[in-house]
Structure 1
Amino acid sequence: MTKPERRLPTRRDAVANRERLLVGAEDYFAELGIDAPLHGLADRVGVGIGTVYRNFPSHPDLVRALYDRIVERFDVVAEECAQQSSGWDAIETLIRRSVQLLVAQPATASIMRRQHHNDPEYQPGRKWSEPIVEYVQRAKDEGRLRGDVTATDIATIPFTMSSIQTLPMGEESSVPHRLITLMLDGLRAHPHEATPIDEDPLSRRDHYSLVHGARN
C-alpha cells in the first residue's frame, strides 16, 4: 500500500506560525511575565521549539517583533487622532483609544520597557511627539484645555492609567470609561460643566472584589 505523500510546509504555513507565536506570546507574557521561557511559549501555541527559534532566534528578537506590533496599533490611533476636527477631540481620542489598547493587551507596557532596555536607540514612537504638541496647543487655543497641561502630560496619562489592565474585569467593563471621563474633566479649561457619566460608580463590595482579584 502506498503511503500518503507528506505535505511540506509552505510559506503560508510559516506566516501563520509566526502570527500564532506573536498572538500567543502577548497572552503568555501577560500571564507569566516578560522573562517567561520560550519553550513554554512553544507548548502554549502548539509548535516545536525549533519553530520558535526559526522565527525568533533570541528572546530580544521576539520582543522586538511584539514591540513593532504595538507601534502599528498606536499608528492606527494616531491616524484616528489626525482625523478629529478639534485639538480637544484629538486628545480625547488619544487617551481613550490608548487606554483601550492597554487594557486589551496587558503585556504592552512590559514589552515596551524591555524593548527600550534591549535597544534604547530604537524609538519609532518619536513620530507621534509633534502631533501631540500640536493637539495640545490647538485645544488651548480653543479654550478647552487647561493652560498648564503639556504634551508629555497627555502622552503619559494612558500609561499612568494602565494599572486598570491588572484588574480582574472584562473588556466590556464600564470602569475604564468612567475613570477616563473623570480624568478628562480635570484637563478641561474652567469654568465648564461637568461631563455627565452614564456608568454607575462601583459599590464598596465591587471595589473590594476588583482590587483584591476576588470574583463575585
Structure 2
Amino acid sequence: MDQPFDRDSLYVLRATMEAHAVQAGLPEGRTSDLVLAVHELATNVILHGSGAGRVRMLAVDGLLRCEVIDSRATAATRETPPWPYEYGHGLWIVRSLGDLHSVTRGPGGTVATIGFAVPEAGRPSFRLLQHERDGTVTLRLIGDLDQTTSGDLVAAVQALLKVRAAGRLVLDLGGMTYWDSTGIAALLSVQERVSAVPGAALTLSGLSGDFRRRLDALSFQPLSYDEPAG
C-alpha cells in the first residue's frame, strides 16, 4: 500500500489501512491498534507538519511495517533518540501499541515508522487452566489474549475473587501466543480488581521482557512479577 493523505482523506486512509492489514493476516484487534497508531501519526503531520503526506505499508519478515511520511525537508538525515511523549498523548499511544517504532528526518522529509508483528497460523485455542497449591491459585492462559477472549479472563478472575476474598493469585502468561490493546486493558483491569480486595495479591509470570515493559509503562500502579525483567 502507498497512499497520500491530507486533512480531508483520513477516513479513506483508515479504511484502506484496515483492508490491507486484514489481508496481510493481522487479527482484528491488532488491526484496530494499527489503524489508531497510523491515524495519530498522520494527524501529527496534518497539525504540526506540512499538512499532507503519504503512508506506505509493507509486510516484511513477519512484520507489517507502516511508514508515515511528511515530505517537508530537514537539513540532515539522522535516527532520532527515543520519541518524546507525554502520558496519554498520541505519540505515547503509538509507542505503546507498536512492536517497532522509529523516526528519521532528512532532505526527503520525516518518516515515522511503526511495525506490528503478524501472528503465525495454527495458534492454539484460548484456554484458562486453573490449579491450586499451598494456598496459591494459578491461572494459566493459553492462546490469544485479545478483544474476543479478554472478557473471559476478567470474568474468571472475578469469579475467583468471589470464592476466595483473599490470597495470592498467579496469572501465568507463558502460553499467551498473541495480544492486542484490549488484552492489555484486561490485564490492567484484573490488577485493579485484585488490588481492591483486602488481602488479595496478583503476580504475573511467564512474560517476555518487552511485554513486561509495556505493562509497566501503561499501568497506574506497580505490578508484581515472578521473575526479573529480561
Query: TM-score, with normalisation over the residues of structure 2?
Result: 0.25
Q: Which structure has the highest strand share of the two?
A: 2
Q: Which structure has the highest helix share of the two?
A: 1
